[in-house]
Amino acid sequence: MKEWRFRVFLDDSEIGYHHFRLTETGSVTRLTSKAEFDVTFMKIPVFTYRHENIENWNSGCLESITSVTNENGTHYRVEGGAEDHGFQLAATAGEAVLPACISTFAYWDKSFLQHGNLLNSQTGEYLPVEVEYLGEHTLDTGEPDALAHRYRLDADDLDLELWYSQEGHWLALQSTVDSGRLLRYVLE
């Protein structure tokens, strides 16, 4: 079992967490994740986010997904599974048949950066993505002078930066959100 437990910050204010757990049983890898964010202004709630996701993987391909999200009162549901004719997807926005071997934004597995399209586990959108390697950068992980590989990922209105250790382990994420503020994931 592997776990990533991130504290989530909006600029310098901690707003919640996003936890990931990866388990392997035979050839199947299961990812479960849960996120809770609460943004307040003068102690008044202005934004809430709840997300739960279960993904099953086999040989680098998404086998099934179930997710529910409440983004500030807007509810999303995504369900899908691999079939003989492709990946059958049912989401709040509608149904689709996607290619047989797809990936989500599987930050925990650096190989997801090689895909040209990714499934958004919150909305069910299958998005074209562009990935740019930004080189090695020092990342404050508690280790002196820890060098990390940094990537930028652009997809639709998502602009993410991801950091991976020299061994390929996921270390951090940041994104500029709609309001121009910086959303950051920091390992606990």
User: For 136, which DSSP code?
Assistant: E
Kind of pairing between the strands at 130-138 and 147-155: antiparallel
- Would you state the pLDDT for residue 183? 96
C-alpha 94/C-alpha 53 separation (Å) is 18
The CA radius of gyration of the chain, in Å to the nearest whole number, is 17
pLDDT along the chain (188 residues), means of 10: 96 97 95 97 93 97 98 97 96 94 96 95 96 91 76 92 94 90 94
Contacts of 61 (CB under 8 A, 6+ apart): 82, 100, 101, 102, 103
Residue given tokens 């199947």 in the structure block: 28
- Would you state the pLDDT for residue 93? 85
Cβ pair 103, 88 in contact under 8 A: no
Residue given tokens 């989500």 in the structure block: 104
User: For 21, which DSSP code?
Assistant: E
C-alpha 95/C-alpha 81 separation (Å) is 12
- Would you state the pLDDT for residue 144? 61
Cβ pair 55, 65 in contact under 8 A: yes
Nearest to 106 by CA among 160, 146, 179: 160
- Would you state the pLDDT for residue 141? 62
